[in-house]
Chain A
């Protein structure tokens, strides 16, 4: 924040699509993609006369997420209709939950710059997703026609609403990352932001630092990546502060994040806000959740990120920093566990994951679940290093090649002729050559400048195109220069 006299107040509303096999109120599959309007039936199309039947798995998943987020699970819950007109909504109302959501009063602990903070979770409720509009032109109002795909209609969603406990874009990001991790761990959602299975809206206001009274808030929509969330919040904080500093007032409104322009734009004012006319869904009976049901779900909860992090520290001696990053996503932690099962040097594995692997994944915007380097391939490569077949430097080349091609490391080493040179004679010849070409460095070394040997080793490695065994090079150089020292 540019102006330290102000403080931001942020709350997030996160929608996640649940990974149930079928939709929330019918038997259509939830699978992403598919030809438009092929995963539909009279019920999810809202044809005249149809009735919803609640998918029990959706309730199971909601309870699971609620337990993982430390929520109270309601004994009595119900569905309500949220009424508004939009062509992606076949009934022109969304079946959702209003005053009696399934989960309430949860929390999530986050850590930013080494400071721990507890963020309250107000509520989690279940609802149905809407369809997808494809416009003939730019927007619905400027297009000659719009098409609608109802495949996504009725895919179950959880809406997870945080308390306004977040105070900076960094905290908001940390909260969303942690939340995503937990939802992945519990396997209730894929949380693929690119495919829209995790979507985020933010409520944000600013107030003088230390104030107890929140400022007027705006709601920002369309935050579809961590980067968008952080940038949009940073932009909006500055915008609101400058409005206040110019003696203006922040208007309560809904704004949208324009990723390309890097700014938030007004979408609709408070006056234009919908009156959703919520009322109890008469086609569904209230949901009574027995404590046995909750206990049954509790038994299926997997190890959550916090517990897993502590286990990695305790069992494998990883530094807390490494453990936190690796357990940040369930897939990464599973990957780590798979490697450690085959190769016990946990820190070595952690270094590769946190260094080269994450760098390459980020560069290619790839999910680790799609990574071509399987755990056994990484382990094979590490064993080649141990045997001295390749050097650490060559390993980096092999690693990148595995990432791009998915070929196994031995094959890459063979094809590219990357086998380490450990032949005494061959290395000795190169050492002679380097000594002869660098008399100044040799003299420095002999005069007691130990550092000079590093330069000479580098020259030999360069000459061998990185293939010479660095240990042997070092030894031979010292030996050759020893006599004269």
Chain B
């Protein structure tokens, strides 16, 4: 097994035992990127190899001094290109930010640096995280490693594809309506959306502030816990980050789930769910039952309204968050504008792609006087009802299990002309964001040769329970040893 194929916790053990060096590992990863990046196209930009090797050697230096490494020290990672990196371009995969180099680091960037990880590059995404296929990137089309004709999912498609293709050991993504979990499901990796407020959003370029949350995309559940350990916690720079004690999430990885109460929400198994996805998920549910969990069907009646409410709330916030891209201070500025209003209009018309414009228009409309009550305010009320659905089932159940996505990865270009069909891809992931609760997606089999994701949702700030169940399932089902072929043929 090549070094680049291994998990962070395995590599950590090898590093500490001095069986490998961080330099070797980094070289291995860079070689892998060189081999496969042409096919995958996950990276918007890669850090100079020499620079990464310098950092790796610094880690080796620590080792040679006999110091014990932090769990992620020396481990190569990628950041989704909406997380600010001081002195390194951060584009949100948008033409409007193509030349934007932040003068500051996001809190997660600082935390990754403090953990002595090795940044390999910034990875592709749907423009401003708006999309479910990574096709709305202004720069490149990332491919699904399991079938290069298929999308990797989105919006953190670059993060998921890079991890699945072993171009990095792990990545960070962001999830506003499913943007970590859905690409994780499509690419057969593990993706966790933490509770809103668990991970600082400072330096995450906002799409929808009340929904955005950064989380790990990893090769297995153990790595997911390790990365969460490194990024969770209150940040005085983010007023919405919560002051709570952060446990060591590894302690939940016991394999023991006897007596856990798991609800299966009926509404997530309705119309539009692919038969193979349904079968894989229900097989996983039986596995959990076998491990001693108590499983019941439950109902969450407001689920069907979550999708329209989400597209109103997220678009409304986006219309305001993205107003700052006007060509005045940074980013793309249109040439030859006669006056300031024309400069605003031309810069934004030329700088944003169609999906971003669609959502800005939708959000502007929803907030306009005369429409606010009917759209934005009503959407907030639906949000409360969706949250109440969760509160009610969580009175009796520890976790909820459902598909992450109603289908497996679809073909590139397949939904390009139909935004509504694209929006429907998020139907299983959106309620979690509206309620602010955590959820994970982990591999649970295949349908038509493409990966299926199992979604486990939990109570606010109980990531531990989710990880416990996910780990038990992963150990018992043993699926993670499969690797994609990086071809256009499906097995």
Which residues of A are interface residues toward B (Cβ below 8 A)? 42, 45-54, 81, 83, 85, 87, 90-93, 140-141, 146, 148, 275, 277-279, 282-285
Contacts of B461 in A (CB 8 A): none
> In terms of DSSP, what is the predominant structure of the interface of chain B?
loop
Q: Which residue of B lies closest to A43 (CB)?
A: B237
Knowing A275-B369, A282-B317, A283-B209, say if A51 contacts B238 (CB, 8 Å): yes
- B368→A53 contact, CB < 8 A: no
Knowing A146-B340, A275-B368, A277-B369, say if A285 contacts B240 (CB, 8 Å): yes
- A50→B202 contact, CB < 8 A: yes
- B368→A279 contact, CB < 8 A: no
Knowing A51-B237, A279-B376, say if A85 contacts B104 (CB, 8 Å): no
Contacts of A52 in B (CB 8 A): 239
- A48→B90 contact, CB < 8 A: yes
A53: shortest Cβ distance to chain B, in Å? Answer: 5
B215 CB within 8 Å of chain A: no
Contacts of A48 in B (CB 8 A): 84, 90, 92, 97, 100, 102, 205-206, 324-325
- B369→A85 contact, CB < 8 A: no
Q: Which B310-331 residues have C-beta < 8 A from chain A?
A: 316-317, 319-320, 323-326, 328-330
B231 CB within 8 Å of chain A: no
Contacts of A87 in B (CB 8 A): 326, 328, 340
B299 CB within 8 Å of chain A: no
B305 CB within 8 Å of chain A: no
Separation of A355 and B314 alpha carbons in the complex (Å): 64
Separation of A49 and B376 alpha carbons in the complex (Å): 24
- A93→B239 contact, CB < 8 A: no
Which residue of B206, B328, B372 is within 8 Å of A148 (Cβ)? B328
Knowing A90-B324, A140-B340, say if A47 contacts B239 (CB, 8 Å): no
Q: Which residue of B lies closest to A284 (CB)?
A: B239
B203 CB within 8 Å of chain A: yes
Separation of A278 and B319 alpha carbons in the complex (Å): 12
Contacts of B367 in A (CB 8 A): 83, 277-279
What are 5 A-B residue pairs whose CB atoms fall within 8 Å in the complex? A49-B102, A49-B204, A50-B203, A53-B239, A285-B240
- B103→A51 contact, CB < 8 A: no
Contacts of B203 in A (CB 8 A): 49-50
Separation of A146 and B368 alpha carbons in the complex (Å): 30
- B201→A85 contact, CB < 8 A: no
Contacts of B104 in A (CB 8 A): 42, 47, 50
Q: Which of B92, B237, B323, B364: most chain A Cβ within 10 A?
A: B323
Separation of A92 and B322 alpha carbons in the complex (Å): 9
Which residues of B are interface residues toward A (Cβ below 8 A)? 82-84, 90, 92, 97, 100, 102-104, 106, 201-206, 208-210, 236-240, 316-317, 319-320, 323-326, 328-330, 339-341, 344, 364, 367-369, 372, 376
Total cross-chain contacts (CB, 8 A): 102
- B106→A49 contact, CB < 8 A: yes
A36: shortest Cβ distance to chain B, in Å? Answer: 13
Contacts of A282 in B (CB 8 A): 208-210, 240, 317
Separation of A45 and B102 alpha carbons in the complex (Å): 12
Q: Which residue of B lies closest to A140 (CB)?
A: B340
Q: Which residue of A lies closest to B344 (CB)?
A: A85
Contacts of A283 in B (CB 8 A): 206, 209, 239-240
Contacts of B326 in A (CB 8 A): 85, 87, 92
For the complex of A and B, the 8 pairs showing the least CB-CB separation, nearest first, are A92-B323, A282-B209, A277-B367, A282-B210, A48-B205, A49-B203, A49-B205, A49-B84
B89: shortest Cβ distance to chain A, in Å? Answer: 12
Contacts of B92 in A (CB 8 A): 48
> In terms of DSSP, what is the predominant structure of the interface of chain A?
loop
Separation of A277 and B237 alpha carbons in the complex (Å): 26
Contacts of A284 in B (CB 8 A): 239-240
Contacts of A285 in B (CB 8 A): 239-240
Q: Which residue of B lies closest to A146 (CB)?
A: B340
Separation of A282 and B383 alpha carbons in the complex (Å): 14
Contacts of A141 in B (CB 8 A): 339-340
Contacts of B369 in A (CB 8 A): 275, 277
- B317→A47 contact, CB < 8 A: no
- A91→B84 contact, CB < 8 A: no
Contacts of B209 in A (CB 8 A): 282-283
Q: Which residue of A lies closest to B242 (CB)?
A: A285
Contacts of A51 in B (CB 8 A): 201-202, 237-240
B413: shortest Cβ distance to chain A, in Å? Answer: 29
Knowing A53-B236, A275-B369, A285-B239, say if A81 contacts B84 (CB, 8 Å): no
Q: Which of A46, A47, A51: most chain B Cβ within 10 A?
A: A51
Knowing A54-B239, A283-B209, say if A90 contacts B340 (CB, 8 Å): no
- A53→B237 contact, CB < 8 A: yes
Separation of A81 and B321 alpha carbons in the complex (Å): 10
Contacts of B324 in A (CB 8 A): 46, 48, 90-92
Separation of A45 and B329 alpha carbons in the complex (Å): 9
B434: shortest Cβ distance to chain A, in Å? Answer: 13
A20: shortest Cβ distance to chain B, in Å? Answer: 18
B317: shortest Cβ distance to chain A, in Å? Answer: 6
Q: A47-B104, A49-B102, A51-B237 are in contact. List 13 more A-B contacts (CB 8 A).
A: A45-B329, A49-B84, A51-B238, A83-B319, A91-B324, A93-B320, A93-B323, A140-B340, A146-B340, A277-B320, A279-B320, A282-B209, A284-B240
Contacts of A140 in B (CB 8 A): 339-340
A333: shortest Cβ distance to chain B, in Å? Answer: 40
Q: Which residue of B lies closest to A81 (CB)?
A: B320
Separation of A90 and B202 alpha carbons in the complex (Å): 17
Contacts of B100 in A (CB 8 A): 48
Contacts of A148 in B (CB 8 A): 328
- B323→A91 contact, CB < 8 A: yes
Q: Which of B240, B317, B328, B364: most chain A Cβ within 10 A?
A: B328
Separation of A285 and B325 alpha carbons in the complex (Å): 25
B108: shortest Cβ distance to chain A, in Å? Answer: 11
Contacts of B202 in A (CB 8 A): 49-51
Separation of A47 and B317 alpha carbons in the complex (Å): 16
Separation of A386 and B82 alpha carbons in the complex (Å): 77
B151: shortest Cβ distance to chain A, in Å? Answer: 26
Contacts of B210 in A (CB 8 A): 282
Contacts of A83 in B (CB 8 A): 319-320, 323, 367
B387: shortest Cβ distance to chain A, in Å? Answer: 15
Separation of A54 and B84 alpha carbons in the complex (Å): 22
Q: Which residue of A lies closest to B364 (CB)?
A: A277
Separation of A92 and B103 alpha carbons in the complex (Å): 20
Contacts of B103 in A (CB 8 A): 42, 47
Separation of A207 and B277 alpha carbons in the complex (Å): 72
A167: shortest Cβ distance to chain B, in Å? Answer: 31
Q: Which residue of B lies closest to A88 (CB)?
A: B328
- B201→A47 contact, CB < 8 A: no
B94: shortest Cβ distance to chain A, in Å? Answer: 10
Contacts of A85 in B (CB 8 A): 323, 326, 341, 344
